[in-house]
Amino acid sequence: MRKDFRMSAVDLALLAVAALLALGAYAIPFGRQTAARPLIYGASAMLCTVLLLLGVAVLAGQAGVSARVLPIGLPWLGSHWGLDPLSAFFLVVVGMGGAAASLFAIGYGRHEGEPMRVLPFYPAFLGAMTLVVLAQDAFSFLVAWEVMSLLSWALVMAHHRTEGTAQAGYVYLLMAGFGTMALLLAFGLLAGPAGDYGFAAMRAAPRSTTLAAVILGLMMVGAGSKAGLAPLHVWLPLAHPAAPSHVSALMSGVMTKVALYGLIRVVFDLAGPLEWWASPAVIVMGAATAVLGILSALMATDLKRALAYSTIENVGVIVLALGLALAFRANGMTAPAALAFSAALFHIFNHAAFKSLLFMGAGNVLVATGQRNLDALGGLIHRMPVTAALMLVGAVAISALPPLNGFASEWLLFQSVLLSPDLPQAGLQIIVPAAGGMLALAAALAAAAFVRIYGVGFLGRPRTDAARSAVEADRFSLAAMGVLGLICVLAGIFPGVVLDLLAPATEAMVAARLPLQAEQAWQTLVPIAEARSTYSGLLVFAFITITSSGSAWLVHRFASRRLSRGPAWDCGFPSNLANSQYGAGSFAQPLRRVLGSILLGAREEVTMPPPGSTAPSRMIVRLRDWAWEGIYQPLAAAINTVATQANRLQFLTIRRYLSLVVGSLVSLLLVLTIWN
Amino acid sequence: MDRIAFDIAHLLAGGLVLVSFMMIYQERLTALLNVFAMHAVVLALSVSWQAHIQHAPHLYVTAAIALVFKAMIIPGALHRIIRRMGIHREVETVVGVGLTMLAGMGLVAMSIVLMLRLTEAADTFAREDLAFALSVVLLGLLMMVTRRNAVSQVVGFMSLENGLILAATGAKGMPLVVEISVAFSVLIAFIVIGVFLFRIRERFDTIDLGALEEYRGENQ
């Protein structure tokens, strides 16, 4: 009897989660010891690697779809866990991000001032994210989701004495609670009057397309607020930068993806078919989020905040792709739907890799200089060459430049945008190309944003003593970044491998998959047909390598045999002041004037001292957040008013309270009497 | 036999409602406590009649508990308390008696209409009993609302609890354990409230709840 019992993949994953939670518990009594930190982070890295391998095994068909019911949770329901291709794909994302962040933290965590504020929560946070992905009933899902939110809140509050962190945590907590409420309503609608909270029952239950659209809307609010979809993104640029950098990497790289998992699971898997009119809202929200996010990233002078805004942009891109997939699926066009959906999943994977990498680089910069302000950095490429090189890989990848992975996924997305003329509805035929235009704008702005971040932060001359005295990070941090950089390069050169791996997940969600890419020569991507469009990362890589090394050789052979160093920016501007370089603000100025004046309400104020005065002249830039002023502040004021009115109930006399109780009881009875 | 059994049960339960009305218009505390003792006696009679016709001997225990605790010990103790506090001659009402009586009649009418409609499928005994029990509960609540003296609020609460017992015994098969635990909880509530009465009195020299309200910086 016993010999039939084999550990399935989901059992292993649950064991790994249990181990992660146990690590968190272990950190409570023992976290203060110096030996505990590498132990905890090292064990987290290993457990995350196990999760990653499990996910890959399921995707590659080496381990079947598995499920497990545990007798915890609601008494008559238990808790259902499972590992199907979609869960497996997100398990890969969580495992990859978690393993890299943990490896990074073995070195980075040494600089943590109050490790007890991070160590107990960190492994448990990883475990909770895994549980969200594994959950197969609404109750387990919501519990895991809330635990994930609360633990990440605790991690955001790790540096609670830093200015602004407390407010960031507060806003985050409010938004998380609001989002979960929307999720709760969505699952309530999914369960319907039968009230079965298992995912299998929800999937099987018939429901009207209108109801499915309402569920989609609730999920866009609930999961979208966690992922950072505009206008629910306000907490994200506050909270993500406030956390320690390895946690920022997890929150931006992985937790937003877990939120998107919730969206995909419910909308594509559980809610059932949707009409085409449900998709334009998703597409428009995605496109608006992308443009708004990257424009804000261009304006931010705080390195980590700029990265957080860029996360918003990427979430917008992914949601746009999901909206396209919805539009194609509603029209029965399964092949284009599979293309858009694959692009979304591929971009999810890519963004998890390069955004984690970039946040780790920002963490290294923060440790080396103590500065997050771009205008206080500069010239780091000489002092932190490895970090700078790896940051360059991340920046090139996120700017969607070939041959790295960001280009491959965005190229796929553009391919699916180009299929929009085949859509039967005129509305979609207009909206989708317009969204494609926004996407192109966002991609270009992203490149500008990362040129700005990299150019101001790493090139030029150091602007402060802190930047001048920076030293390279430790080898664990660099190893973690190196692994992620390698993933970015490999996924860019061999995109077909990744696409073939995530094909089972696509097939499960949109009932079609991309053609098998492994059969193509030269690692060429063929999304639809060879005659239409193809892209080979390998050939582009080979071409770039050959031409660049060839031209470098030519230049050095015939033009300059020696390296000669001259003064920087010596083109008629021989100033020695480091502050006279292009700064973060000056680089952004043209775009701020063109786009920012409306979208971000950017205003410049110039104060010139009168002639003869020795006072400095100043230029102050003010940005406005329309979402904050137009939605959140009126909402907060309204809630405040209602609460003040309701507060009177706190100060009634005892007899009035009794009268209230009796009055409500009697009126309920009266209603019952009359109604019967 | 059945007819008579029903009539007597009806009479006793109706008597309980009647005594509840009597409580509402008692303005003096001593008289109120006496009527409350009578309330408990009628309850004990009603419960023991139920025990007889249902052939449920454990209900005799319930009746005995009602008789001993509610008709003797608690009213006796409350008598002692108000004597020690010197308030046994006090007169107090908030709302006029006539108005309260009218409201009480409305509540009784409502509960009878409601219960008779809701429980059409149920046993006749249970139906009548439930209707009267709900009336007693509502009248107890009404008393708590219209009085401002802490002692009469306690009495209102206890009479409310009597209504609950009436409902429970009318519906067949309430386990003794439930009854005993309810009785003990009432006893404990009584002790706690008694202690509180003295504490309130120590602090404010009165057990008029209005004093508490003034203490919180509010007027009526």
Per-domain boundaries in chain B? 2-215
Q: Measured between CA atoms, how close is A648 to chain B, in angstroms? A: 12
Q: How many CB atoms lie within 10 A of CB A342?
A: 28
User: Which tokens is A486 given?
Assistant: 């390698």
Q: Measured between CA atoms, how close is B117 to chain A, in angstroms? A: 8
- Interface subset of A 595-654, CB within 8 angstroms of B: 651, 653-654
Please indicate whether, in this complex, the C-beta atoms of B110 and A670 are within 8 angstroms of each other: yes
Q: What percentage of chain B exceeds 70 in pLDDT?
A: 74
Q: Which backbone phi and psi does A535 adopt, to 5 degrees?
A: -145, 130
Please indicate whether, in this complex, the C-beta atoms of B111 and A669 are within 8 angstroms of each other: yes
> Average pLDDT for residues A549-553, to the nearest whole number?
93
Q: How confident is the model at residue A190 (pLDDT cuts 50, 70, 90)?
A: very high
Q: Give DSSP secondary structure letters for A271-314.
A: S----GGGHHHHHHHHHHHHHHHHHHHHH--BHHHHHHHHHHHH
Please indicate whether, in this complex, the C-beta atoms of A669 and B113 are within 8 angstroms of each other: no
Please indicate whether, in this complex, the C-beta atoms of B141 and A665 are within 8 angstroms of each other: yes
User: So what's the pLDDT on residue A562?
Assistant: 65
Question: Cα dihedral sign for A55, A56, A59, A61?
Answer: negative
Q: Which pLDDT tens digit goes with each residue over A369-408?
A: 998 999 999 889 999 999 999 999 999 999 999 889 999 9
- Which 8-state DSSP code applies to residue A266? I
> Who has greater pLDDT, A195 or A56?
A56
Q: Which of chain A's residues have a Cβ under 8 Å away from the Cβ of B145?
A: 655, 658-659, 662
Nearest-angstrom CA–CA distance, B113 and B109: 6
Of A78-92, A550-564, A583-597, give the lowest mean pLDDT range: A550-564
User: Which tokens is A465 given?
Assistant: 């003593």
Q: Which of A651, A655, A661, A671 to mutate to test the interface with B (most CBs of B within 10 A)?
A: A655
Q: Measured between CA atoms, how close is B214 to chain A, in angstroms? A: 9
Q: Which residue of B has its CA nearest to A655?
A: B145
| pTM across the whole model | 0.79
Determine contact: A669 vs chain B, CB below 8 A: yes
Please indicate whether, in this complex, the C-beta atoms of A670 and B212 are within 8 angstroms of each other: no
Please indicate whether, in this complex, the C-beta atoms of A662 and B141 are within 8 angstroms of each other: yes
Q: Measured between CA atoms, how close is B155 to chain A, in angstroms? A: 15
Determine contact: A658 vs chain B, CB below 8 A: yes
Nearest to A140 by CA among A219, A66, A73, A226: A73
Q: Angle, to 10 degrees, between the axis of helix A405-418 and the axis of helix A334-369?
A: 150
User: So what's the pLDDT on residue A574?
Assistant: 61
Q: What percentage of chain B exceeds 90 in pLDDT?
A: 16
Please indicate whether, in this complex, the C-beta atoms of A658 and B110 are within 8 angstroms of each other: no
Q: Measured between CA atoms, how close is B217 to chain A, in angstroms? A: 10
The top-scoring range by mean pLDDT among A576-585, A615-624, B173-182, B185-194 is A615-624
Q: Is A357 helix (H, G, I), strand (E, B) or coil?
A: helix
User: So what's the pLDDT on residue A571?
Assistant: 67
Q: What percentage of chain A exceeds 90 in pLDDT?
A: 63
Complex ipTM value: 0.81
Q: Which pLDDT tens digit goes with each residue over A330-361?
A: 999 999 999 999 999 999 999 999 999 999 99
User: So what's the pLDDT on residue A2?
Assistant: 44
Q: Which of chain B's residues have a Cβ under 8 Å away from the Cβ of A653?
A: 209, 213, 218, 220
Contact of A481 with A361, CB cutoff 8 Å = yes
Determine contact: B117 vs chain A, CB below 8 A: yes
Determine contact: B145 vs chain A, CB below 8 A: yes
Q: Measured between CA atoms, how close is A337 to chain B, in angstroms? A: 56
User: Which tokens is A596 given?
Assistant: 């920012």
Please indicate whether, in this complex, the C-beta atoms of A669 and B114 are within 8 angstroms of each other: yes
> Who has greater pLDDT, A309 or B126?
A309
Q: Measured between CA atoms, how close is A646 to chain B, in angstroms? A: 18
Q: Which of chain B's residues have a Cβ under 8 Å away from the Cβ of A672?
A: 114, 118
Please indicate whether, in this complex, the C-beta atoms of A654 and B212 are within 8 angstroms of each other: yes
Q: Which of chain B's residues have a Cβ under 8 Å away from the Cβ of A670?
A: 110
User: So what's the pLDDT on residue B198?
Assistant: 67
Answer yes or no: is pLDDT of A362 > 90.
yes
Strand ranges inside B55-195, DSSP E = none
Answer yes or no: is pLDDT of A3 > 50.
no
Answer yes or no: is pLDDT of B1 > 60.
no
Please indicate whether, in this complex, the C-beta atoms of A673 and B138 are within 8 angstroms of each other: no
The top-scoring range by mean pLDDT among A320-334, A584-598, B47-61 is A320-334
User: Mean pLDDT score of chain A, rounded to an integer?
Assistant: 90
Q: Is A79 helix (H, G, I), strand (E, B) or coil?
A: strand
Determine contact: A426 vs chain B, CB below 8 A: no
> Who has greater pLDDT, B196 or A223?
A223
Of A56-65, A102-111, A586-595, B85-94, give the lowest mean pLDDT range: B85-94
Q: Which pLDDT tens digit goes with each residue over B163-199?
A: 888 887 776 655 665 666 666 667 667 767 766 776 6
Nearest-angstrom CA–CA distance, A20 and A193: 37
Please indicate whether, in this complex, the C-beta atoms of B213 and A672 are within 8 angstroms of each other: no
Q: Which pLDDT tens digit goes with each residue over A404-447?
A: 999 999 999 999 999 988 899 999 999 999 999 999 999 999 99
User: Tokens 């490149």 correspond to what residue?
Assistant: A447
Of A219-233, A277-291, B108-122, give the lowest mean pLDDT range: B108-122
Q: Measured between CA atoms, how close is B153 to chain A, in angstroms? A: 10
Nearest-angstrom CA–CA distance, B20 and B34: 12
What value, to the nearest 5°, has the Cα angle with vertex A390 and ends A387 and A395? 115
